[in-house]
Amino acid sequence: MAALMIALPPHRLRLHLTLLSLACAAAARGQELPCPPATAADTPPPPLPSISDGAIHWSSCHIDVAANGDTELSGDVSVDIGGRQMHCDRLTYNALTQDLKLAGSVRYEDPSLRVTGKAGSYGNAGALFTDAQFELLQHPGRGEAASIATTRPNIVVLEHVTYTTCPKGQADWELRARQITLDTRSKRGVGHSTSVVFKGVPILYLPWISFPLSSDRQTGLLFPTLGSSSRSGATLSIPWYWNIAPNQDATLTPTFYSRRGLGVGSEYRLLTNSGDGMLRDDYLQNDRVTGQNRNWLRVNATSYFGNGWRAQLAAQDVSDTHYFEDFGDGPQATSTTFLPRDFRIGTRGDTWQLGAQLLKFQTLDDQLASADQPYAELPRLTANAHWQGSSGLGSALDTELTDFHRASGTTGWRGRVQPAVGFDYTQPGFYLRPRAAWDFTAYRLDDAPTTDATPSRSLPILTFDSAVQLERTAGRNDARLVTLEPRINYVYIPYRDQSMLPVFDSALPDPNFVSLFQANRYSGYDRIGDANNLTLGVTTRLLEASTGQQTLSATLGQTLHFSQPRVTLPGETADTRRRSDLLANIDLTAYRNWNLHYDVAWDPADSHTGKSLLALQYLPAGNRVLNLGYRYTRGSVEQADVSAAWPVGRHWDLYGRRVYSFLDRQPIETFAGLQYRASCWGLRLVFRDSVTSHDPQLNAAQRRDTGWYLQLELKGLSSVGSSADSFLQGSIQGYSPQ
């Protein structure tokens, strides 16, 4: 037999005795306490004197008092003590032990807990209910236990208990434990000798478990994650979460790989008024497949100082170049070529912007020649200023000093100074901005490509930029706003022979509307292309007049060359065309749940497409999304991408994605999955196959990885299995679970 025990201070028990003494006095006078016609609460007797935690109210239909003081209340007995309520059919008081015994339809309720059973006791030692049912009132949780006891405020001890958050009559999952202690104040539960039972089948046994009673962050052991990979085998992870403080936490995750061994993942996060930071590390000692230690370390931190100063650190490091092929998630395995280590410190004021940067990269491509690897910048120092007068006349100064390092090839310092003057005439719907700048760049080189170790470059840069925005209302009741925004940009840069200069950070950018209107056709500062160009562009938009929300945007632009460019990068063929690629862009946003994005760069001289991107999306809800995509870059990329997440019934959802490369003639990534949603649990299963390596020395099977993700969500408790949601959200654009 079991019992519910509620600690009762001595002064409270004395008031209980006073209650019973009054009943005894009434019985001695031959009186019978009246039984209310409906419920005892309708016509209660006057309350006893108040105490510190509230008045005591009582009622019953009958009372019997023995000569030794033993007393029995019967017939709809009700006791209210400062918000704690007890109800039963019969209540007896033992004058010798000063205990109360409750029997017949016993019910106890306080602000956080409700208990029902057939019998119980109440006294100085506490209260005890046997074979009782319980329900948490401030958050989901219910069950039954052989005994339920609270010997301290807000602490409930359950013996031989079943616990679930499912609604009544539908216990699809439950915890079965020898003992569970619930702390309703800290909102945490701790179980001993606990089995997780799903649909009547035990799926997990834990000697000790800590689980939340709410969605608040709390320290404790989280549920294991399950998965599988053809490269690593079956995996089992058991995370432990540490809620250090409101502004910092940590997670430690031991992971067992059936093919590789035991690894440990750790994460620490910190948030303060002066900054934030995150440190993560995944470490696997003595990988049984490779025979070496494997790890992936990353750190991100930002600190804010006074007067606008800020420091940022973003760095990653892996133990070997094949780490992401074995442990990467999706396209990360093949798309990660360089890992940055970047530290910056600087300030931004109304006039000056000062900065210092240390930048280095870890190269993950074994086949990449050292001459093709990026330079480290140790350091890059910048000082930029801008002055703008009320008349529109302004000036600017850009300066930079960088030391470029690499294991092979030319290295050295580059210094650059670029003063400029301009005029900004801006009116509603119109602006006019002529600008003149002079660029002076000098080098001090080691292993210079020519006999000159201190080459330099000096040239003027003249630009003229102007745009007009025209608009009119359209549609019924002028609900729409239509704009027409032509823009013209002229650039003149004379030719300077720059073949003696090294190439540290210059490259040809992707054709887009940002690069189309830039003065220099190269990124970086080692090359400044000669130009006598006129760039024309026009944009039209369709907006909601009342909110300004954009529904449609279309842009068209092209550059006309009045003289043939002569400056080139090493290995680049001079562009002899009189006109650049014709760039077009269309954005359709949220039109009846449809979104469309289309970019194209078309060469009118050869009538071929250099680059294009098409993305079509239908998104009526977060769990209803369909994506169609096509990516093309002449000579290097041609891929089709289809993904979807869609409900197919009251409880079922389907997921899927396929990325196919027409150049490789094979799918790059394929996955398919399903989800079942019930009232108190959900099951997600995803199967995945993807390319993890392009190494031609490996066979087709070695270049791919197959695996699965399983997530059994027990709502109101935790999850068993890997987080399939995070994988799906990263793989299906627009998807969000509901």
pLDDT tens digit sequence for 480-503? 899 999 999 999 999 999 999 999
| Ramachandran angles phi, psi of 237, nearest 5° | -120, 140
Which residues neighbour 137 within 8 Å (Cβ) at sequence distance 6 or greater?
109, 111, 112, 113, 114
Between the CA of residue 627 and those of 76, 616, 723, what are the distances in Å?
Answer: 64, 6, 22
Query: Over 80: is that where the pLDDT of 82 sits?
Result: no
pLDDT at 700: 62
Q: How far apart are CA 83 and CA 78, in angstroms?
A: 12
Specify the range with the lowest mean pLDDT, choosing from 6-10, 407-411, 605-609, 686-690.
6-10
Q: Mean pLDDT over all residues of the chain?
A: 85
Give the tens place of pLDDT for each residue, 235-258. Answer: 888 888 888 998 999 999 999 999
β-bridge partners, 208? 192
Half-sphere exposure of 238 (CA within 13 A, CB side): 10
Please spell the DSSP secondary structure of 286-319, one letter per residue.
S-TTTSS-EEEEEEEEEEE-GGGEEEEEEEEEES
Please spell the DSSP secondary structure of 389-423, one letter per residue.
-TTSEEEEEEEEEEEEE-SSS-EEEEEEEEEEEEE
pLDDT at 38: 40
pLDDT at 434: 97
Instruction: Count CB neighbours of 732 within 10 A.
Output: 19
- Give 85's pLDDT tier (boundaries 50, 70, 90): confident
Give the tens place of pLDDT for each residue, 721-735. Answer: 445 666 777 788 888
- Residue among 566, 581, 435, 443 at smallest CA distance from 502: 443
Give the tens place of pLDDT for each residue, 399-415. Answer: 999 999 998 889 999 99
Give the tens place of pLDDT for each residue, 427-446. Answer: 999 999 999 999 999 999 99
All domains of the chain in start order, with CATH: 10-153 (2.60.450.10), 463-603 (no CATH), 607-738 (no CATH)
Give the tens place of pLDDT for each residue, 182-216. Answer: 887 777 888 899 998 988 899 888 888 877 777 67
Specify the range with the lowest mean pLDDT, choosing from 88-102, 330-344, 416-430.
330-344
Q: Is the dihedral of CA 518, 522, 524, 528 positive or negative?
A: negative
Give the tens place of pLDDT for each residue, 114-168. Answer: 899 888 887 766 778 889 999 988 777 899 999 988 777 778 899 999 999 888 8
pLDDT at 37: 46
Specify the range with the lowest mean pLDDT, choosing from 269-278, 326-335, 546-555.
326-335
pLDDT at 635: 85
Specify the range with the lowest mean pLDDT, choosing from 44-53, 263-272, 325-334.
44-53
Query: Over 70: is that where the pLDDT of 24 sits?
Result: no
Helix (H, G, I), strand (E, B) or coil at 514: helix
Q: How far apart are CA 36 and CA 91, in angstroms?
A: 17
